[in-house]
A and B are shown apart, each in its own frame.
Chain A
Amino acid sequence: MQPIISVNNLSFGYTKTDTALRNVSFSVLKGSYVAIAGPNGAGKTTLIRVLLGLATPYTGDITLFETPQTSFSSWERIGYLPQHTGHFNPLFPATVGEIVRSGLLAEKRFPKRYNTQDKTRVQDALARVGMTDKSDTSVHALSGGQKQRMLLARAIVARPDLLILDEPSTALDQETRSHIFSFLKDEHARGVTILMITHDTAHIGQYADTLLFLDKTVIFSGPFDGSCKDTDLRNYFGGDIAGEHLFNHPHTEH
């Protein structure tokens, strides 16, 4: 199976003396569901930001859809859900429809204009995240969970091949979390590749089939089932069996 993302010997630091990522190498295969886990400050968000070209410069090689990241231009193939929704400027005037529609901008060429079909695509995306009829609602009127679902609708409105999500369930109530994971499961079943950062390590195995455990460098990368037997991961946890208390219930149906 062909890799959608290939990372080879990637290193990155925010300053010359800082090392946020060190010699990171891994691949994400088409159709896989990859969970990125690791302690705080492990470089998980930094890795995603580097992949998306938001953090530069780096050393090493990144390939997205078989194209070097530096010359990659098909950004509509990647849906991105950033960490936190709390960074919204509280004064920013926007409707849910305006925000979701902006997810189509990557596929537009200059001059970037929307067409009448785009309105239907926005409605479809909102319906898929359970926000039908919210298109004209002001973002100020949304709860935290609704904002997260709105940004999820924005990430999938262009029907991307790859979804990159940075802690999509953080600070959400149980019902919204269940809704989001159920939604992602459906997307994965449709063939969408998913790369997701999570702190919810106890439930990773309920949805992901591949684990990328990071602590500035890759500690483990491979099928989820193999993580419990992996020597590097066991050594990382001081010989303790990681899977017993960190990664419970592998592949249990959610």
Chain B
Amino acid sequence: MDILSLFSYGFIVHAYIVGVCIGALAGMLGLLLVLRNRALIGDGLAHVSFGAIALGMVMGMYPFAAAVPIVVLASLGIGKLTERATLFGDAAIGIISATGVAGGVLLASMAQGFNVDLFSYLFGNILAVATWEIIFAAALSVIVAVLVLVNYHTFFLTTFDESLARASGIHTKLIEALLMALTGIAVVLSIKAVGVLLVSALLVIPAVTALQLAKSFGGAMTLSVLLAISVIFIGITLSFFADIPTGATIVLLSVFVFLFALAWRRTK
């Protein structure tokens, strides 16, 4: 079978479309999070998603529809907890994340019958995407991407130096809350591709790889997006031909590209 024949399979085409959406979001937001020392927030929010998906299942809803608002609220909660309780960022992430997982496990034990479904979200399955899920992912991705691009220059300055941004009249708390909320949406969408356990890799690895290679902010953002899309695209293809798990393939491919970029930079 050649690569072009892959496009005759509807489920593969669906996976590519969703992969491009997720890659674009992960690449954009991941770079901002890494540069703000918030790299682990994706991991924390993914764990919250686990609890939120369980709640959606108990309530008989589409799990991701339940997860989006809950995870967005959790992302804002992490920001508030860090600010109000003067906690270090990672500690707030730890508290919210543990609450999400504990809630998910408790719901799974109380409502018998969906344990298998729930635990399938731990590893994701981008090859099993329904048409309406594509619409859901594409619509949210367009909203997130437009909000990031419209606020691109503001994100740049607030990430470079918060004091300079505030002295320029920028409402930095509002921008931080926007970033957290958009990250919450991106995390929920990414779970379909790589699962709860590997979401943070998709946010972090393309971004840190781009940082090895780019010398400008615009270059790093573009590269981060292209890398994220590429590893998802190649990962889907490889996993199909080799009959191996897609999420794990995408993440290991990202790590390989990162190591290559690291080695290349050291030779410079």
Contacts and interface: CB of A to CB of B under 8 A. Distances in A.
B216 interface: yes
Contact of B170 (A92, A105, A113): A105
Interface string A126-150: 0000000000101010000000000
B163 A82 contact: yes
Contacts, number: 77
Interface string A83-103: 000010101111100110011
Nearest to B169: A75
B35 A102 contact: no
B163 A113 contact: no
B218 to A, nearest CB: 7
A80 B35 contact: no
B111 to A, nearest CB: 45
A113 B153 contact: yes
Given A92-B35, A98-B156, A102-B153, A54 B216 contact: no
A87 B170 CA distance: 20
Interface residues of B, number: 27
Interface string A56-91: 000000000000000001011010101000010101
Given A54-B166, A106-B168, A92 B160 contact: yes
A73 B161 contact: no
Contacts of B116: none
**From DSSP, what is the main secondary structure of chain A's interface residues?**
loop
B136 interface: no
Interface of A: 49, 52-54, 73, 75-76, 78, 80, 82, 87, 89, 91-95, 98-99, 102-103, 105-106, 108, 110-114, 136, 138, 140, 154
Interface of B: 35, 150-151, 153-154, 156-157, 159-161, 163-170, 210-211, 214-220
Given A102-B168, A105-B154, 8 more contacts: A75-B167, A92-B160, A95-B217, A105-B153, A106-B169, A108-B153, A113-B153, A140-B215
